[in-house]
Amino acid sequence: MKRWIMLGVCLLSALPLWAQEPPAADTAAAQVAAAPQAAPATAVTAADAPNDNGHSLVVTFVPSADDREGGPVIGYEVYRSVDGGEWDMRGTVPASGPAGDATLRYRDAGSKDEASQDYFPIGQAYQYRVRTLSVGGFVDSEPSAPMGSTAEWFHFGKLELFLALVIFTGLMIIFIGRAKKGAELYIRPLAGIDAVDEAIGRATEMGRPILYVLGLGVASDIATIAAFTVLQRVAKKVAEYNTKIIVPCYDPIVMSVAQETVKAGFMDAGRPDMYREDDVYFVTQSQFAYVAAVNGTMLRERPATNFYLGLFYAESLILAETGSLAGSIQISGTDQVTQIPFFVVACDYTLIGEELYAASAYLGREPLLMGTLKAQDWAKGAFAVALLIGLVATLAGWSSIAGWFHLDL
């Protein structure tokens, strides 16, 4: 008997749900399923989003009068329409609740890709309305006035970044100019780089080749670019000593650049006839297949010296360990923090992070690279000074100084 009573109660309590019509997004009238009914959001306005590429608008509205701590409001849904046609839900905004915000904000951002389903055309006029969700149902606001987006030329939230770049570029130009005029720019010795000539000489004495691995980076990675510069210097020495250099590449573009670089090195040494394009070759773009091939090369060609300079991932230890077992002198360098430990334990010399960038300037002594390196040092000096100022400021209770370096992205 109790079961039947319970079932009846459940059915009766479900009746209001059955009676409720399915939610229709295109009706502006309030729809309420059960009390208490929440007041709608008001003053819905759309405005162009500042500092953007023109593919977004900002919707602001005054929350429901019932949006308070412990109140019935659950949250808000933001709907968009073109010319009052079909309303599409764009996103949700949580209820203000205890915060008691006077206005709430939603940024409606779409894609700039015309082929995308979420394409947000610049200048397209949109209307918005906000649906207030409460325990009793939902209620829609009045729609906003139509508004179109525009694109800005300058992102003022990134002003600090712009200033930092201008200062850095200015420093670079100044130091490059000084280097070109023949100013003596000091760079402290780097053990790994001092060993390069020694390692090439060893390969020549042993009559074995040199293996130069550029890692898994693409040609635009900073570490790979630095590795190209060192490669040119190594190739020049190799040509002078009449030794063979092998460069297995992971990326076809890297291979193309490496071929040009090695050729330039041989030409610098006045031995373009010695350059063999087949010694700089593409292997595969599968990480561990590449490792398997390079490992095989190490054991078959028995290179006297292995260089691992560039961008490396999980293959770093496998390569360095195999080279170590093969008895090669190994010089490594990468800016991948997670891979440096493996190079440190398995290689004779390791260029840690920025030492790799410095190496290219140190070896080449070209004004362009020397000037850039000096500018980097000045930037590091500015960083250190900023840290010390920040330290004093925070100890004095002025912790908001860190906000100067905050970018409003």
Partner 1 sequence: MFANIDLTFWVGAFLTVAIFSFLYKDNPVYKLAEHLFVGISAAYWMSVGIWTTLVPNLLCRLCPGWVNSLAGSDCLCPPASHVSGYERWIYLVPLVLGILLLMRLSPKGGWIGRWSLAFIVGITAGLNLLRYMQSDFMAQVQATMITLLPGWQGFGHFFGNLSLSLDSPLVATFSAWVVFFGTFCGLVYFFFSKEHKGWFGGASRFGIWVLMVTFGAGFGYTVMARISLLVGRFRYLFGDLIDMMNS
Q: Please give the residues from 258 up to 297 whose contact with partner 1 meets the rule CB under 8 A.
A: 260, 282-286, 288-290, 292-293, 295-296
Q: Which stretch binds partner 1 (CB under 8 A): 93-101, 149-157, 159-167, 233-241?
A: 159-167
Query: Given the complex with partner 1, which of 50 and 381 has the nearer CB atom?
Result: 381
**Beta strand extents in 169-304 (DSSP E only):** 210-215, 245-249, 280-282
Select from 186, 207, 273, 278 the one that contacts partner 1 (CB under 8 A). Answer: 186
Residue of 361, 343, 362 whose CA lies nearest to 352: 343
Give, rounded to a whole angstrom, the gap between the first and last alpha carbons of the chain.
Answer: 65
Binding to partner 1 (CB under 8 A) within 20-79 occurs at: none
Select from 340, 351, 363, 369 the one that contacts partner 1 (CB under 8 A). Answer: 340
Q: How far is the CB of 405 from partner 1 (least distance, A)?
A: 4
The CA distance from 173 to 256, in Å, is 30
Binding to partner 1 (CB under 8 A) within 379-408 occurs at: 379-381, 383-384, 386-388, 390-391, 393-395, 399, 401-403, 405-407
Q: What is the DSSP string of 124-183?
A: --BEEEEEEEETTEEEE-PPPPPB-----S--GGGHHHHHHHHHHHHHHHHHHHHHHTT-
Query: Given the complex with partner 1, which of 96 and 297 has the nearer CB atom?
Result: 297
From edge to edge, which strands make up the β-sheet containing 245-249?
280-282, 245-249, 210-215, 305-311, 329-334, 349-352
Residue of 185, 190, 286, 174 whose CA lies nearest to 230: 190
- 111 near partner 1, judged by CB under 8 A: no
- 135 near partner 1, judged by CB under 8 A: no
- 122 near partner 1, judged by CB under 8 A: no
Q: How far is the CB of 387 from partner 1 (least distance, A)?
A: 6
The CA distance from 104 to 256, in Å, is 54
Q: Kindly state the tokens that stand for 365.
A: 């002594």
Q: Which stretch binds partner 1 (CB under 8 A): 11-19, 22-30, 74-82, 345-353?
A: 345-353
Q: How far is the CB of 341 from partner 1 (least distance, A)?
A: 4
Q: How far is the CB of 41 from partner 1 (least distance, A)?
A: 34
Select from 220, 270, 272, 365 the one that contacts partner 1 (CB under 8 A). Answer: 220
Report yes or no: 106 and 58 within 8 Å, Cβ to Cβ: yes
Select from 10, 17, 29, 337 the one that contacts partner 1 (CB under 8 A). Answer: 337
Query: Given the complex with partner 1, which of 42 and 124 has the nearer CB atom?
Result: 124
The CA distance from 300 to 126, in Å, is 67
Q: Is the four-CA dihedral 334, 339, 341, 344 of positive or negative sign?
A: negative
- 164 near partner 1, judged by CB under 8 A: yes
Query: Given the complex with partner 1, which of 69 and 260 has the nearer CB atom?
Result: 260
Q: Which residue has the tokens 């918005």?
A: 128
Q: Which residue has the tokens 């023109």?
A: 54
Site map for partner 1, 306-335, x if CB under 8 A?
A: --------x--x------------------
Query: Given the complex with partner 1, which of 92 and 116 has the nearer CB atom?
Result: 116
- 114 near partner 1, judged by CB under 8 A: yes
List CB contacts of 187: < 8 A, sequence separation 6 or more. 358, 361, 362, 370, 373
Using DSSP's 3-state secondary structure scheme, residue 283 falls into coil
